Structure 1
Amino acid sequence: MTERIDVLHVDDDPAMADLTAAYLARELDAVEVTSVTDPQEALDRLGAGTEHDLPFDCIVSDYDMPGMNGLEFFESLREEFHHVPFILFTGKGSEEIASQALNAGVTGYFQKGGPEQQQRLAHRVGDAVEESRTKAIADRYSTVMEALGYPIYVVDETGTFQFVNDAFADLTGYDVEEIVGSKPGIIKDDAAVTEAEDRLGTILSSSGPDVQRFTVDIIPKAGDPIPCRDHMAVLPYEGEEFEGSVGILRDISDEQRRREELETKRRAMDEAPVGITITDPTRPDNPMTYVNDRFVEMTGYDREEAVGVNCRFLQGPETDPEPVRRMREAVDAGEPVTVELLNYRKDGTEFWNRVSMAPIRGPDGEVKNWVGFQEDITEFVEREQALERQNERLDSFASIVSHDLRNPLNVARGRAELARDPNGDPHLDPAIEALDRMESIIDHTLTLAREGQTVGDPEPVDLASNVEKSWRAVAPQASVGGDRGMENGEGPSIDILAEGDVLADPDRLRNLFENLLRNAIEHGPDGVTIHVGDLENGFYVADDGPGIDPTRREAIFDPGYSGTSDGTGFGLSIVREIATAHGWAVTVTDSESGGARFEFTGVDRPRTVEAVE
């Protein structure tokens, strides 16, 4: 022991006190002895101190002293100072005093004598102080470890648990008494036991580490294995006599779960079908710190080329500065933004990029990073541009049909009407009918050209009511079956079985029904009956007419295709365009009576809200 020892020696014989101090100084490496002759004086010296700032490491006291004997001094001392070593060193030795002293809890008892007794006293003082200091350190570490709440274990040289704390017992589900005296196999499988032994071997080797840190699955008394991190070290020992190991476990279930979640998120980002970038605005020029696989594939730049630079390097001579300005303003304002701009790949080819950027804020609300999602929309933009060009051509075509053809057609029809005479030329009536048919073809052509596959915002539409309105427009004098019946005649009739609403553009839906109903009347017998009803995910329109040849069922939807000489061939084409615009599928089959049945599926219906009782 090299740390200085401060000893308080109480003896009413100054000569004996000096002798003891001399022997203590000779036998111990560093000692400071304070000698007093009166126990009360000693108590007065100690009275100003506390357990933690006591100026003495050990107290040596005589037994037979005036006013207060050594044991009475000890009892008075113990009221305030519980842990300081106390050695009774007396010339009045007896078994009775020795028994009283040891029962009272003194650290040591020695009878005064020659040099050998002085040496024995000195050695006992040194040992007592070392034990006290070791215990104090152990107590402090024990307090710290208990406060941390980590599971702690001690295993002896035979691999048997000698100690576990309450936290260890709580982790494993076993009582402390069940674990102490057992082997580690009680909480580990064979592979884990073997790994721990191997790691302990590296610590014991001359070139190995002092501590081993490794993960291990602890098998509790009940439940699933608990992933932990084991911090293992050996107990202090001298020579070749290994005395065991000590370890601290830490439950890393939450850490492992978070790590797995982060790994899942990282893989999701790496393998996402859109380009993902992360930038660091705290660094100069807000460079990219992460790019995923899709970004590399989309741009042609390796990660090494992209990370560390600003993403503006994708811009080129034809990049519109307006979306770039909007992105810059959003970054300055710390707000999300989405733009579409022309970018350039590493090989110089152009691609249209839809970029969405959003800030990632820290706990203090400051923007720590920006995340960007980049999608190659080149095909979409090209289709959009082609569609725009097509629409321009259709508008031009519609203008020609509407003005340049309709005007001379109206002139021809008007002249023919003026020339028509009941007793006149019989060829004028067919000519007027042909002109009417041409006007009908123009109307249908304009419908396809101007409306095409477009609908307004879908809204709940009562299917039965929409069908009835369409029927009144097509056959105002015809009958309606069931409860909706008018006077029955010999002409066509309709039986409306549909119920509830569908989500549709009401005007386009009426246009669809009018074409279907008109088609059934024109191609059916004089007394054709039409049925309109519900399907599980749509509706149908069926008739009892001649039906449609299976080999012609696809062709009937082609523009200009007609089954009669006086038809325009556009009615069913318009029906399919309207259905497609709504996202519906239309198919043709046979009705129960052998006629035609048109089925519309994929039809959305409004959600119904159940009444709350």
Structure 2
Amino acid sequence: MIDIKILFMTTDDSIVEIIKSHLEGNKLCWEIETCTSAKVALQKLKDDSFDIVISEYQLEDSDGLSFFSAMRKVANKVPFILFTAKSNEKIAIKAVNLGIDFYLKREGKLEEQIEELIQTIENLSDRRKQWGTQSHPKEKTKAINSTQIQILKKLTAKELSSELLFEIMNEVLIVTDQDFYITELYGRYIEIFNFTKGEMIGKPLLDFVHEDYKEFMTIQMNKMKKEPVDKFEIGYKNKEERMIHTLFSPKAFFNEQSQLLGIVGFLTDITVYKDIEKNLQKNEKQYQELFQQSKDAIYISTRSGKFIDINQAGLELFGFTKEEIYSIDIAELYVNQKDRETFQAIIEQKGQVKDYEVQLRKKDGQEIYCLITASIKKDLSGEILGYQGIIRNITERKRMQEALERQRDELEAFASIVAHDIRAKLQIISLHNLKLKGEASDKISNKIEEISTFLQNLLLMAKKGEILGETTEVNLNELLEDIIKKYQPFKSNTTILLEELPELKGNKMRLRQLFENILLNSFRHAKASQIVISVQEHEEGYSILIQDDGIGISEKQIDEIHYSWKKGDYNNLGLMIVKKIIDAHGGEVEISSKIDQGTTIKLFFPREPS
């Protein structure tokens, strides 16, 4: 039994062979007759019955559209498909105006186009079965196609001028009949849906709507039967069942009896924009959470000095309500108006400010210390619109700093008084010691010297701010020879080798303290037989190396020394003094050591103290 009988107008027999090869194993029984002449084909239509006529544009004695006009006089109920490689705007518009049923372009891979053609024919067959006995399939097909023709004829030339228009606009044009079955497609439907035209034509539009939107789409389609509907967002699904977010703009057409003929809908893929919108909403939510949960004040203001937005921490900082703070001039919050002017000058010159310290005033008049970190906001033309930033209240920190400063001043004064008192007593002891002789007298002198050095170190540690004072060129050889002469008698079993050293620019008194502390530390703890003092010259400055061959220091002890420098631990006062003086000269100190192999202290001095 033959299911579909087709008359195929073509001058290319290979197309028919490809179609037949694709139909092998098909559920429907097809019979295809071919013809190259329009005259012969018209006679066949008079003598026999065909379910579908397919024609190329270029025929032996005519063209496809002229043949279609002649065919309608002898077989006006047979569906006609123009399947042609001859594709241009004028032919497409003429085909629509003549009322052809389907217009399929042959472009790209021929086999894919054949598949689309077969799919279109099968959809026509499926719909014939759905219509059943309600009317003759050919009459129903004709009614559908007449609907399509009426709809398309009502479209402006601009709307149907070229498929390229829809491709450029990332759109699909969908034409349906009065029952919302798809009758034609233009544009980027393959890219968006991943279905061919043949797979979509003849199917209900609702079949391609995502499950989440089917109920909504049914409501919209019922509205379209009665009245115009504005464009709306709708989710379609592609071949892989993935949702495609679209903007659908339907245009309904009605006959003289106000019955729906069909719709033409412009469908725009907005999936990318919906994803961007979703990400923006997520980012906005995160920003709002950060904005509101921040313990620091976050604000956005105009250039002229009005708050546009400020978080809860900002309201609490200044003590205003949101309504109040939006009405005030920001300049009024500054204790010193020049600070506001300086802030604006810096931010507009550099585009940002970081940790700008300023005194601000709360609603109740209380003055607070704050750090402002902010940047400018510009429009597209580069014009400054305002500022956005963070205000951190550092009032407590400032109070603590001031309290520490007062304590340091008191400590320095107290230490100076105590040191002066002790020195006076040491001088008396020293005078009495001059009357004594022998080993006991030497030990007393040694201890007096140690106490004097300790007091000197104590005063230095208590001193705040700049400790260098005046700097001069210091001859290190002379300085160290004097120190060695002074202390070596107390450690006669240790040999000190002093190489030629450079002159350094620094404070002679502080450098003396530095080297005295290092050498005394070696004398007391290293148990060294030899100490070598040498120099390494660099482009940036000098490294003075003090190396001994003593018992050495463990890695753990070195780590503890570094930790004490970092935390300001005074357990090793001598090395703390070394660190403080070398830092004051803009230099660095390094300690390296191996157990039973000795210790090296490396002091780097820049050519100019920083």
Instruction: State TM-score, norm by structure 2.
Output: 0.49
Instruction: State TM-score, norm by structure 1.
Output: 0.49
Return the structure number with greater helix share: 2
